[in-house]
Amino acid sequence: MKIGFIGLGVMGSPMAEHLLKRFKELYIFSRTKGKAERLIEQGAIFCENIADLAKRCDVIITIVGLPTDVQDVYLGKNGLINNCNTGTILIDMTTSSPSLAMEIYQKAQIREIHTLDAPVSGGDVGAKSAKLSIMVGGDADIFEKCKPIFETLGTIVVYHGQPGSGQHTKLVNQIVIAGNMIGMVEALVYAKNANLDLERVLQSISKGAAASWQVDNNAPKIIKKDYNPGFFIKHFVKDMQLAQNEARNLALDLPGLDLVESLYASLLENGYGNLGTQALIKYFEDNEI
Amino acid sequence: MKIGFIGLGVMGSPMAEHLLKRFKELYIFSRTKGKAERLIEQGAIFCENIADLAKRCDVIITIVGLPTDVQDVYLGKNGLINNCNTGTILIDMTTSSPSLAMEIYQKAQIREIHTLDAPVSGGDVGAKSAKLSIMVGGDADIFEKCKPIFETLGTIVVYHGQPGSGQHTKLVNQIVIAGNMIGMVEALVYAKNANLDLERVLQSISKGAAASWQVDNNAPKIIKKDYNPGFFIKHFVKDMQLAQNEARNLALDLPGLDLVESLYASLLENGYGNLGTQALIKYFEDNEI
């Protein structure tokens, strides 16, 4: 099984490294060759372009930035579907649009190419430690074939059904987070203004019905005014907008998601896109005066 | 130390029972005498009215329904402050208004009576198992004196500072929950409409950045259409409205809290007040058609 890997960003690099270690051979491509150097030193084979990589691999994994990048990489003239061999399996691990995942699946099918959508959660920490949660949509038999790959990258690997359902599940994850963020941040805004000791507040609330990963991990960062990104605001806005688009397609009204997206979008407009999602507190602080 | 206990509801009854076991002697009062029977059988002494109980005790705990009940019990003509002895300690464990807690503290001080506000989280399960989280405001030396009482009822006992700060902390807890509920419920609404298998979705999302007590405990109930109250909608609306009032006093704008309160308030208007908070999903389902 010759594996290819496209997209060597914060997530992709450590994932590619795990695959190289496990499968010994790995074909890689990145628009910025500099990002590939570490992997090349370890024995990965750099391909000059996507078409070249496409021809040399049986399974190709992509994890790029935006749905428009996914569109280019898969559906562009020099993209995967035009250039890979019949029978190739293409796995997109970007968080992207469920509708686009279905479109890619259908266009690939015509050329007898298989696709899976398999976005992840767990962030760069999960990518490095190979403890991602991987949410997979596509054909069940293709999922089974790719399980050894997924199990190299993550600890929670779940098959969700038809093409796009991996993406749908990731968006479900992001909708939960949107609510958890607004609850946690408004609670801290209230606590601060009520002159409470925030450390003690966390002691009181972090084990019961208010418990969440966000309270455990991001509330302490807010207290320390540490806005370094575990997860970028700009990426979270992208994900929430994907969820909003799909909700619109499904004729759903999700006022909580809409509210949280609007607050983060205003932070993005104000130049906070490269901060972590915990910087939502700045929305309240900047409007406080 | 002669302890009195007023309010033998779902929370109060098991709490009183723990205190009776630990301290052997307990004076109790409840508007409905029937609620006291079990405790009387175990040896608790029933008092005919609040004034009677007030005269016989050194420490009196209250856990009643609404802030208006707290007002009656503490500030009414036949209430605690008018009738208890100098030096008595009054502990209100109702979830109530921080401003009212401060008012009671000040009025008690004039008569040389001590007060603490000490609301709890953990629900009836926490009350029964004596695993509540107890958030205490008032004078530090009085808190120290009452620690044996609190440690009989809960496992997380935290002192938060001046009178009202226990109540403030409880409202912080409820603001977090408001966000967690809307995130979890909108995510499930989306997942259902995207035709995902909800059990598998929970497998994928429940361990990472979307993890929360609500996802662990209330999402499975929603999947089973189990709307039995762990925590009543009518009580949650009361708590959120308390938080909104205090936020207004602090000149804070908390749009997430306002949104979630408005959705729950509409459920309450539609007769769903006695369902559990997970029935928020009905807001979306009833508007779906």
Spatial separation of the C-alpha atoms in residues A212 and A95, rounded to whole Å: 23
For the segment(s) A3-162, the CATH number from 1.10.340.70, 3.10.150.10, 3.60.15.10, 3.40.50.720 is 3.40.50.720
Pair type for strands A114-117 and A132-138:
antiparallel
Q: Cβ separation of B183 and A176 shorter than 8 Å? A: yes
Q: Note the pLDDT tens digit of each residue in A1-32.
A: 899 999 999 999 999 999 999 999 999 999 98
Q: Note the pLDDT tens digit of each residue in A177-236.
A: 999 999 999 999 999 999 999 999 999 999 999 999 999 999 999 999 999 999 999 999
pLDDT for residue A288: 45
**B146 and A CB contact within 8 Å:** no
Q: Note the pLDDT tens digit of each residue in A105-159.
A: 999 999 999 999 999 999 989 999 999 999 999 999 999 999 999 999 999 999 9
Residue B45's beta-bridge partner residues? B27
Q: Note the pLDDT tens digit of each residue in A245-277.
A: 999 999 999 999 999 999 999 999 999 999 999
Which of A176, A250, A284 to mutate against chain B (most B CBs within 10 Å)? A176
Q: Cβ separation of A161 and B260 shorter than 8 Å? A: no
In whole angstroms, how far apart are CA B83 and each of A23, A113, A211, B111? 80, 83, 40, 10
Distance from CA of B18 to the nearest CA of A (A): 20
Spatial separation of the C-alpha atoms in residues A99 and B113, rounded to whole Å: 66
Of A55, A170, A238, A282, the catalytic one is A170
* Rg value, chain A, Cα: 20
**Which CATH number describes the domain made up of A169-286?**
1.10.1040.10
Q: Which residues contact B113 (CB under 8 A, 6 or more apart)?
A: B80, B81, B84, B86, B87, B88, B89, B90
**B122 and A CB contact within 8 Å:** yes
The residue type at B140:
A
Distance from CA of A185 to the nearest CA of B (A): 8
**B133 and A CB contact within 8 Å:** yes
pLDDT for residue A286: 72
Residue B176 in 3-state DSSP?
A: helix
**B247 and A CB contact within 8 Å:** yes
Spatial separation of the C-alpha atoms in residues B6 and B49, rounded to whole Å: 10
Residue B191 has its nearest CB partner, among A172, A212, A263, at A172
In the annotation, is B170 catalytic? yes
Residue B160 has its nearest CB partner, among A177, A200, A212, at A200
**A165 and B CB contact within 8 Å:** yes
End-to-end CA distance of chain A: 60
What residue spans of chain A are helical by DSSP H? 12-23, 37-41, 50-56, 67-75, 80-83, 98-110, 123-128, 140-153, 165-193, 198-205, 213-217, 219-223, 233-249, 255-269, 281-286
Q: Cβ separation of B205 and A121 shorter than 8 Å? A: yes
- Its ipTM equals 0.96
Residues of chain A with CATH 1.10.1040.10: 169-286
pLDDT for residue B287: 55
**Residues of chain B contacting A243 with CB distance shorter than 8 Å:** 190
Residue B172 has its nearest CB partner, among A159, A191, A231, at A191
Q: Confirm if B144 and B134 have CB atoms less than 8 A apart.
A: no
**B121 and A CB contact within 8 Å:** yes
pLDDT for residue B288: 45
**B79 and A CB contact within 8 Å:** no
Of B35, B170, B234, B238, the catalytic one is B170
Write phi, then psi, for A92 (nearest 5 degrees): -95, 115
Per-residue tens of pLDDT for chain B, all 289 residues: 899 999 999 999 999 999 999 999 999 999 989 999 999 999 999 999 999 999 999 999 999 999 999 999 999 999 999 999 999 999 999 999 999 999 999 999 999 999 999 999 998 899 999 999 999 999 999 999 999 999 999 999 999 999 999 999 999 999 999 999 999 999 999 999 999 999 999 999 999 999 999 999 999 999 999 999 999 999 999 999 999 999 999 999 999 999 999 999 999 999 999 999 999 999 998 754 3
Spatial separation of the C-alpha atoms in residues B14 and B19, rounded to whole Å: 9
Distance from CA of B83 to the nearest CA of A (A): 32
Pair type for strands B45-46 and A59-62:
unpaired
pLDDT for residue B46: 97
Residue B160 has its nearest CB partner, among A197, A210, A214, at A197
Residue B209 has its nearest CB partner, among A135, A195, A213, at A213
Residues of chain A with CATH 3.40.50.720: 3-162
**B196 and A CB contact within 8 Å:** yes
- Tell me the DSSP string of B225-249: T----SSBHHHHHHHHHHHHHHHHH
CA dihedral over B282, B204, A260, B176, signed as positive or negative? positive
Q: Cβ separation of A214 and B209 shorter than 8 Å? A: yes
Cβ neighbour number for residue A22 with a 10 Å cutoff: 15
Q: Cβ separation of A183 and B178 shorter than 8 Å? A: yes
**A183 and B CB contact within 8 Å:** yes
Eight-state DSSP code of residue A116: E
Tokens standing for B176? Answer: 């977090």
